[in-house]
């Protein structure tokens, strides 16, 4: 079974993004970019399946600017076998990403696609579900445990009330939650090795997908700020303030 893992290049989770003063977006010049953390978890899970003899090949794919090849290299350095870069300039919304991924899936024929549950920049939490819909495949979002059962899968999901376990008919789409695994760091030898692994260069045009955005961003603004309040000296003062000043007790 081949496993396909879509990986997205996003602003590193440690960066506190700033809204541009003209309201046209957030400041992305000279900020550190990394692989979306949920996608690292997805790559890790695919590698573990391969190491357990349940997967034969792990292919990472990214849709984005030329620099997204760095994100693919990160996946290759972790241990993925090869990469596919689908070059796209500007914004590609989840629906368009899902359409491109559908075309990649049709060409690659994986038995499983593992995606992150959400990208930490746009926080949409959509792409995996959309890909499952377009392919007519089963889906398990927010996975915290994944087991292969022949060509099918058993997945435990993190839901609002706790955990849910479902069985998926393969081929299937799984999206990762934080507690699925702890991703490995790429070792230096593996980073060197990754430089020789193949990355297939494609463009959106190769797949004939219309990526015209459906959402028009009218403006991007700073959220309403919150000022630091006061420090209280002890529990008694805290209780007093909560009661008389804040009125929440």
Ligand X SMILES: Cc1cc2nc3c(=O)[nH]c(=O)nc-3n(C[C@H](O)[C@H](O)[C@H](O)COP(=O)(O)OP(=O)(O)OC[C@H]3O[C@@H](n4cnc5c(N)ncnc54)[C@H](O)[C@@H]3O)c2cc1C
CB of 239 vs ligand X, minimal distance in Å: 18
Binding ligand X (rule: CB under 6 A), the pick from 56, 91, 151, 187 is 91
| Phi, psi dihedrals of residue 66, rounded to the nearest 5° | -50, -35
In the region spanning residues 24 to 53, those forming contacts with ligand X, defined by CB under 6 A, are: 36-39
- Nearest to ligand X of 188, 221 (CB atom): 221
Say which entry of ligand X, another protein, none residue 97 contacts (CB below 5 to 8 A, set by partner kind): ligand X
Chosen from ligand X, another protein, none, partner binding at 62 (C-beta under 5 to 8 Å by type): ligand X
Question: Considering the complex, what minimum distance in angstroms separates the CB of residue 108 from another protein?
Answer: 19
Separation CA 143–CA 44 (nearest Å): 13
SS3 of residue 42 by DSSP:
helix
For residue 176, the SS3 value is strand
Pick one of ligand X, another protein, none as the site partner of residue 236 (Cβ within 5 to 8 A by kind): another protein
- Give the count of beta carbons closer than 10 Å to the beta carbon of residue 208: 9
Other Cβ atoms within 10 Å of 120 Cβ, number: 16
Let me know: does 5 contact 60? Beta carbons within 8 Å.
yes
CA 143 to chain centre: 13
E strand or H helix at 72, and its extent? helix 68-78
Taking the least distance from each CB to ligand X, the nearer of 120 and 191 is: 120
| 120 is an interface residue for ligand X by CB under 6 A | yes
The footprint of ligand X (CB under 6 A) covers 6-8, 13, 36-39, 61-64, 91-94, 97, 115-116, 118-122, 124-128, 213, 215, 217
């Amino acid at each position: 079974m081949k496993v396909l893992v879509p990986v997205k290049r996003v602003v590193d989770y440690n960066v506190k993004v700033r809204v541009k003063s003209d309201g046209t977006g957030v400041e992305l010049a000279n900020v550190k970019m990394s692989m979306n953390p949920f996608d690292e978890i997805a790559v890790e899970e695919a590698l573990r399946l391969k190491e357990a003899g349940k997967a034969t090949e792990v292919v990472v794919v990214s849709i984005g600017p030329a620099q997204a090849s760095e994100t693919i290299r990160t996946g290759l350095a972790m241990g993925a076998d090869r990469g596919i870069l689908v070059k796209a300039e500007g914004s590609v919304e989840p629906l368009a990403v899902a359409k491109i991924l559908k075309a990649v899936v049709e060409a690659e024929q994986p038995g499983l696609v593992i995606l992150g549950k959400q990208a930490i920049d746009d926080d949409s939490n959509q792409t995996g579900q959309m890909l499952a819909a377009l392919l007519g495949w089963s889906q398990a979002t927010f996975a915290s445990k994944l087991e292969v059962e022949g060509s099918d899968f058993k997945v435990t999901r993190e839901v609002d009330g706790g955990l849910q376990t479902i069985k998926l008919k393969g081929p299937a789409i799984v999206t990762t939650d934080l507690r699925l695994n702890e991703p490995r760091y790429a070792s230096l030898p593996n980073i060197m090795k990754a430089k020789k692994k193949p990355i297939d260069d494609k463009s959106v045009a190769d797949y004939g997908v219309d990526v015209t955005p459906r959402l028009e961003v009218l403006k991007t603004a700073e959220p309403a700020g919150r000022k630091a309040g006061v420090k209280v000296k002890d529990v008694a003062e805290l209780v007093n303030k909560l009661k008389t000043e804040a009125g929440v007790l």
